[in-house]
Chain A
Amino acid sequence: MQFLDKSIQEIHDALKKKEISPKDLVEEAFERIEKSKNLNGYITLNKEEALKQAEALEQKDAGDNLLFGLPIAVKDNILTKGLRTTCASHILDNFIPIYDATIVEKIKANDMIIIGKTNMDEFAMGSSSRTSYFGAPKNPWNHNKISGGSSGGSATTIAARDVLFALGTDTGGSIRQPASYTGIVGMKPTYGRVSRYGIVAFASSLDQAGPMTRNVYENALLLNVIAGMDDKDLTSADKEQEDFTRKIGKDIKGMKIALPNYFRSDIVSEEIRKEVENTKKILESSGATVDYVDMKYLDKAVTLYQIIAMGEASSNLARFDGIRYGYTKENPKDIEDLYLETRKNGFGKEVKRRIMVGSYLLSGDNAKIYYNKALSIRDDMKKEFDRIFKEYDLIIGSTTTTTAYDLTDPMDDPSKSFMDDVLVIPVNMAGLPGLSLPIGFGKGHMPIGLHIIGNSFDEATIYQLAGFLEKKLNLNLDSRKGEENV
């Protein structure tokens, strides 16, 4: 029986009729994970607990909760009580959280079952998940390619169809970019939409968690569960509970869409530009207007990101000192020796580089020259987005400049991991919601993603457009069938 290939409604109905139990779903998920083990999507599996939790649900009625009893994978920088959470780093490879992140509490309260913790770039710093202490995950469409990053393991397990739901985090594209590379749907919600409590902080003014799924509807369903104000995160927004699926299926006639020229400039590969143009034609023939627009500051986003993300990371990662948790140097001479040696051996190369540059950027007068100036220009960039959203409902472009590249591509260029995210970073800078939707395939049948950007707290309209295109394009996004093509 392969229930995890069925629609969410079919699974739900089968659960209601007791044709299957949550335990069947969990067992099926682990069979699939076992089969795709070589993809290295997971750092830690939660089999025993998951089965226990599934058994506990046997007595419970699913009600109208479509997510009841469904397995979910959680990125390994999101705290799960009693379940090892490593951030793919040696410095946390023995760390067992003593509380749940708020979003983990929420998925548990909705009777979803955590199946395991997914692989990622160390502390979410990277764009290919190759900075993981546990080795990189592989792209299910072609095992020689990256899954992207930093939420590469979550993207891998969804694209491999091990489970239907995963959580990722996105500081500078880390949900949307791997979603694009692996042909799945990934949403970074508006900054403040989802609580950050219990998510290991990377760059606090940018970090946001979001859903990664095989389709648009299921993505919106999961956002329904994790969204909401949290007393423990004062940057979480006090917004009314809403149903993010409510506009899916609605017509897009009259919708006004902007396509910034920068997003179709020659930094984007030809095959991707072509796919975006095709999408534009589909939208126009369906009654939407798509205008090319000029936007200032988009080409500055990576520089701003480097300053803000490295600066904030250097401050946030100061907590890893070998004292309260995690890896520590044995028999240190004194406290200085403890700090220096713990951090030297505990962190990987990419993380150390970023902490060092970040510390420099925030030291003395540099804070003004770099960090404060970056915040100021980021504010200008936000206003530029505001200007566009006065006239348009949505902004589109491609999610990435190329399709997924080889796992063996060189890693010695420290700027490379930032440039991979050049098209998705502006959205984090402006705190806006953005989603990647598969719209086609490039050379070697590697997926191409469309980036749909919405106005603040207007995730519902993003889902409307994404849902419309998904139906219209009707692509076969099952990588297990695609495998024969490579």
Chain B
Amino acid sequence: MNNKLTKEEVLHVAHLARIKVGEEEIEKYQVELKQLLNDVDKIKEVDGYDEERMIAPWERDAVLRDDEPGEMLNPKEVLKNAPRHSGNYIAVPIVISEEA
């Protein structure tokens, strides 16, 4: 079993997770992520997978609550935790840049 991811694989996985990986961390992740991926690969040794089977984490029917308006969060309170806001809105930095 290969015990290291390639550099590109690490960067791909980091991109999926939207986590920046510094140049100095790549080598460590090559080994650590591969070890975890080797761990989870053990599932391939288990037989009996039925793709058609419907799986829910609980066996009970989902019960929906009555469709009645409930209490709302106060927008002023919500904004207190938001690092950037403007008026009643949460602000975000530019999403589509000019180069795109």
Contacts and interface: CB of A to CB of B under 8 A. Distances in A.
Contact of A356 (B33, B60, B64, B93): B33
A304 B55 CA distance: 14
B13 A360 contact: yes
Interface centre among B22, B58, B63 (most CB of A within 10 A): B58
A103 B57 CA distance: 21
Contacts of A206: 57
A369 to B, nearest CB: 8
Contact of B80 (A98, A344, A358, A360): A98
A356 B29 contact: yes
B32 A314 contact: no
A334 B100 CA distance: 12
A303 B40 contact: yes
Contacts of B42: 300, 303
A189 interface: no
Nearest to A380: B48
Nearest to A335: B95
A433 B92 CA distance: 43
Q: What is the size category of the interface that chain B forms with chain A?
A: 35 or more
Interface in A289-307: 300, 302-304, 306-307
B8 interface: no
Nearest to B91: A323
A227 to B, nearest CB: 15
A347 B17 CA distance: 12
A376 B93 contact: no
A238 interface: yes
A304 B42 CA distance: 9
Contacts of A235: 57-58, 62
Contacts, number: 163
Interface centre among A192, A204, A323, A358 (most CB of B within 10 A): A323
B16 interface: yes
Q: What is the size category of the interface that chain A forms with chain B?
A: 35 or more
A370 B40 contact: yes
A380 B81 CA distance: 43
Contact of B35 (A95, A192, A344, A414): A414
B78 A337 contact: no
B82 to A, nearest CB: 6
A343 B20 contact: yes
A426 to B, nearest CB: 14
Interface stretch (A115-123, A218-226, A325-333): A325-333
Contact of B37 (A314, A334, A335, A360): A360
B72 to A, nearest CB: 11
Interface in A261-306: 300, 302-304, 306
Interface string A339-356: 111011001000011011
B69 interface: no
Given A235-B57, A306-B40, A334-B97, A357 B21 contact: no
Main SS class of interface, B: loop
B14 A374 contact: no
Interface string B54-81: 0101101011110000000110011011
A336 B29 CA distance: 21
Contacts of B49: 372-373, 376-377
Contacts of A344: 19-22
Given A323-B92, A324-B82, A357 B55 contact: no
A325 B17 contact: no
A338 B39 contact: no
Contact of B13 (A192, A237, A356, A368): A356
A332 B37 CA distance: 32
A322 interface: yes
A91 to B, nearest CB: 11
Contacts of B90: 323-324
Interface string B30-53: 001101110110111010111101
A334 B20 contact: no
Contact of B64 (A234, A304, A326): A234
B43 A303 contact: yes
A325 B29 CA distance: 28
Contact of B78 (A98, A332, A356, A379): A98
B57 A359 contact: no
B94 to A, nearest CB: 5
A372 B57 CA distance: 12
Interface of A: 95-96, 98-99, 191-192, 204-206, 231-232, 234-235, 237-238, 300, 302-304, 306-307, 310, 314, 318, 321-326, 328, 332-341, 343-344, 347, 352-353, 355-361, 363, 368-370, 372-380, 413-415, 418, 431
Q: List the 5 shortest-distance A-B pairs measured between CB atoms, nearest first.
A: A205-B57, A340-B20, A325-B81, A359-B16, A375-B55
Given A98-B73, A191-B58, A353-B33, 11 more contacts: A191-B57, A234-B62, A303-B43, A323-B92, A326-B83, A335-B93, A339-B18, A344-B21, A361-B40, A373-B43, A415-B39
